[in-house]
Amino acid sequence: MKSSQLGRLRINTSSISSNVSEWTSEQVAYFVRSLGKSIRWTEYAKQCLEIDIDGATLQDATVDILVELGFNEMDAAKILESIASADGSEAMARRSLISRGKLRQGVGGPLQERRINNGENTVLPLTAKERSQMEKYGLYCALMDESEKQVVTAIENLNLQKEAAKQKSRSHFDKLINTIARER
């Protein structure tokens, strides 16, 4: 019987199923820890245990979701690509690319159209982070539009004041010319 130790946790590695969706959080932690040698991979494994990420949950995750949970973006992508390889899931590999922003196009309302390698369009829900960024972007756009309107109005007012000042100057100049002409 082959086993591994992650902290105090002992995992029987011979019992890890080839079907990722059947993995327990302990098996996910072992798998994640096996992907890298640095301390951060141990931390990721502990994170999987702390928040109880099992195989099915990991299969449903995206890079963005893992990043929100504290994973580095590149490491999150590596995890999902490794899970896709372990599971043999082409759809999982495509989701990994989509969530990393490699294949995104367009910006939309609550859903965003994203193009997948094979050319078909798939509509996926935005993550909370993406939704927040879209809302901020919308607020910034509204602020810029309002600012532009205020600038245009200010320029129009300045042009009106300029024309009024020109008229006043012409009128004053014409009076001076008439006064000079009368005095000669």
H/E stretch holding 114 reads: strand 111-115
CA distance 3 to 14: 7
- For the stretch 81-126, pLDDT in tens is 888 877 665 444 444 444 444 433 333 333 344 444 445 554 567 7
Q: What is the mean pLDDT of residues 43-57?
A: 91
β-strands 3-6, 9-12: how paired? Answer: antiparallel
CA distance 127 to 44: 21
35 Cβ neighbours under 8 A, 6+ residues apart? 41, 75, 78, 79, 82
User: Quick one: angle between helices 25-33 and 39-50, nearest 10?
Assistant: 170
* pLDDT of 179 above 80: yes
Is residue 110 within 8 Å of residue 126, measured between CB atoms? yes
- For the stretch 133-162, pLDDT in tens is 888 888 888 888 888 999 999 999 999 999
H/E stretch holding 36 reads: none
H/E stretch holding 111 reads: strand 111-115
* pLDDT of 7 above 80: no
Amino acid symbol at 61: A
Which residue reads 């008229």 in tokens? 167
Instruction: Report DSSP letters for 52-77, one per residue.
Output: T--HHHHHH--HHHHHHTT--HHHHH
In 3-state terms, what secondary structure has residue 61? coil
Q: What is the mean pLDDT of residues 7-12?
A: 51
Phi-psi region of 70 (alpha: psi -120 to 50; beta: other; left: phi over 0): left
Amino acid symbol at 64: D
Dihedral of alpha carbons 61, 64, 65, 66, sign: positive
